[in-house]
Structure 1
Amino acid sequence: MQITEVNTLGALREVLESEESRQDDLFRERVMEPLRPVWENMLRFIPGQAGAGDPALTAARMMRLYLPEMGRERGLEALGRLERARVREENLGALRRAAGALRPDEHGARLSEVHLALTLADPEGLGEEGYTGAGNTPGWVMVSVWPKEHNLSRLPAVTAHEFNHNVRFGQPDWTFPIPLGAYLVAEGLAETFAAELFGPESLGLWTTTLGMEELGPLRPRFQAALHEQDFNVVRGYIFGDSVMRQSGQANGGGGPGLPPYAGYALGYHVVRDYLARTGRTAAQATYDPWRQIVNGSGWFTA
């Protein structure tokens, strides 16, 4: 498997250092064009967006990327912080480490090449945490960040999480329509795999803020919906009510009262308990069927 870095951070520096009149065109050419496989795929699944206006800039705003209109000096200062923290080198190393742990070639995973792209985020676009990742496009791992004191050290775990998705989503177990149980396990596997490589302290608040006292009462609701396949309903369970509303979507059907990122936290505990009961690692379990993991976790047994 070949790993290819797509240097969008260096490209954005070129854009911001250019004449203002050229910046939008250069942004399309240097930043967004190399990312076309990611955002074209994204727009295809969003009604009314694929042919709306300038597709590259539309996608950039939806992805919460830093655009030239957000300011030259502010952007260059943030890029400088990322360069001094060696985020490109650190995350390229994290991806190589994750690939070495998962060994997808030995498991028949269809990943001949994986692209790693780190992007500068809209400083107001990703909440207090200031970072996110995406691994739902085959062969692509994306990490987006607005640098803050607390988040740079956590980016390698995000890279590992998203690469785990790349591998997991290529398994026969991941088919459309996606049942809630499969989605729950995929997020739990990605987080336990990241913790396996970089320690549980590297995980985001979406996984760690809910404890057993909050998750225990949610167990029957998730158990009853494990085979639910309506994607909006499934996402409601994974992301929770307030996150769905913030993203401009109505409640996904999980019902009122689901806390933010409930599915991430619950999936993490389901997978952790499966690993504890079976003695398997997260890397090994990445190739286990989701029903086996759910049933073996002990979370949903009568």
Structure 2
Amino acid sequence: MSEFKVTIVDSLSFYDRCLQETVDEQAFRYEIMKPFEEMWHYLNAPLVSKKPGGYDVLMASEMLGIWTPRKSVDLIKSRLEQLKESNIFNECTQVIAESTRLFNEIGYQIPFEELIVNILLGDPENGILMASEGYSGFGGIPGYIFLIVVPNDFNQVRLKSALAHEFNHNIRFTYEPFNHGDVSVEDYLVIEGLAEVFAEKLYGVEYRGPWVKEYDKEELEYTIEVMKDGRDVRGFDQVCAYMYGDEVAREQGYQPIGLSRNAGYTIGYHLIKDYLKKTGKTIAEATLTPSSTIVEESRIFD
């Protein structure tokens, strides 16, 4: 049975202070991001850049859509109470326990000693974050999870599902580590499909994320064909166009390839659903299965 410590960063106290007094960027670095220093090290983002204005945790955080004290506090004034009302801070350990139980049931010993969770207010001026109904997450480094949220009626009830989604990434990457520079379209379809189906298993389809779209039969078949042709494309920059679609590709400077927003998430979801239906495997078992096996046995590209 897996046993590990769950630590939740006290971001609420930090935001309370931000609304009551002037809080500088150093507090953000050392109070909010210091617990994630090892994760940022993997991502080549130091707590403080060696050069003024250089790449560091502030710049990286802002790129992810996280609010920092370099931006106006007015952007979060009306959001903090909504974040508290979502109850995700109280429900966080329960979500982790319920997620862990699915892996305990198949005898998988989760190989980290501590999981650190940081629930952060997002930047409502970040277009990509707001295009996903104001919430996102990052679980790409085992032992660390971010949830990023600009609270609203849609996402407040989906934060447990979003946390489970990121937890699945954590476990997947203990089995098959994420290779940013060499990830393929096929790999990424599996990664995101596993995470969303895992969350759906725990909390129901009604709390599914907005990144899974409802395609009609024609668009679904067309998108599957595009993915089939590009399934061996490798490298995060190239893969992003397949996963996020043309709109985001243009915003990020990638080459559009004729896909709707979040096309890869949608096809990944269907790929995993097909795999589970055809094999009878559980979503936990699938999370610990090679991508190539999942794709082949799903038969989605046949």
TM-score bracket for the superposition, by shorter chain length: 0.7 to 0.9
- TM-superposed CA distance for 1:143, in Å, is 0.5
- Selected match of 2:247 from 242, 246, 252: 242
The secondary structure found in structure 2 opposite 1:34 is helix
Identity within the alignment, %: 31
Residue identity matched to 2:7: T
Is the contact made by 1:12 and 1:30 (CA closer than 8 Å) also made in structure 2?
no
Instruction: Determine the structure 1 residue equivalent to 2:238.
Output: 233
Q: Deviations over 1:216-260 (max 9, x none)?
A: 1122332232222233222221111211222x2222xxx531111
Aligned length: 292
Residue identity matched to 1:226: R
> How far apart, in 2, do the equivalents of 1:225 and 1:299 lie?
14
Instruction: Determine the structure 1 residue equivalent to 2:143.
Output: 139
Instruction: State which drifts further: 225-234 or 187-196.
Output: 225-234
The secondary structure found in structure 1 opposite 2:125 is coil
Instruction: State which drifts further: 112-121 or 78-87.
Output: 78-87
Provide the aligned C-alpha RMSD in A.
Answer: 2.5
Q: How does 1:109-188 map to 2 (within 5 A)?
A: 109-125=110-126, 126-128=129-131, 129-172=133-176, 177-188=182-193
1:130/1:261 CA distance change after superposition, 3 Å: same
Is the contact made by 1:157 and 1:194 (CA closer than 8 Å) also made in structure 2?
yes
Residue identity matched to 2:137: G
> How far apart, in 2, do the equivalents of 1:211 and 1:290 lie?
26
Alignment gaps of 5+ in structure 1: none
2:95 is aligned with 1:81: no
- TM-superposed CA distance for 1:86, in Å, is 1.5
TM norm structure 2: 0.87
Residue identity matched to 1:92: T
Instruction: Determine the structure 2 residue equivalent to 1:214.
Output: 219
> How far apart, in 1, do the equivalents of 2:107 and 2:10 lie?
29
Is the contact made by 1:238 and 1:264 (CA closer than 8 Å) also made in structure 2?
yes
- Selected match of 1:13 from 12, 16, 36: 16
Residue identity matched to 1:3: V
TM norm structure 1: 0.87
Is the contact made by 2:75 and 2:124 (CA closer than 8 Å) also made in structure 1?
no
Q: How does 1:32-51 map to 2 (within 5 A)?
A: 32-44=33-45
The secondary structure found in structure 2 opposite 1:106 is coil
- TM-superposed CA distance for 1:60, in Å, is 2.9
Residue identity matched to 1:281: T
Alignment gaps of 5+ in structure 2: none
> How far apart, in 1, do the equivalents of 2:61 and 2:236 lie?
24
Is the contact made by 2:186 and 2:232 (CA closer than 8 Å) also made in structure 1?
yes
The secondary structure found in structure 1 opposite 2:148 is strand
Is the contact made by 1:236 and 1:244 (CA closer than 8 Å) also made in structure 2?
yes
Is the contact made by 2:119 and 2:148 (CA closer than 8 Å) also made in structure 1?
yes
1:236/1:50 CA distance change after superposition, 3 Å: farther
1:284/1:51 CA distance change after superposition, 3 Å: farther
> How far apart, in 1, do the equivalents of 2:105 and 2:52 lie?
38
Q: How does 1:269-288 map to 2 (within 5 A)?
A: 269-288=270-289
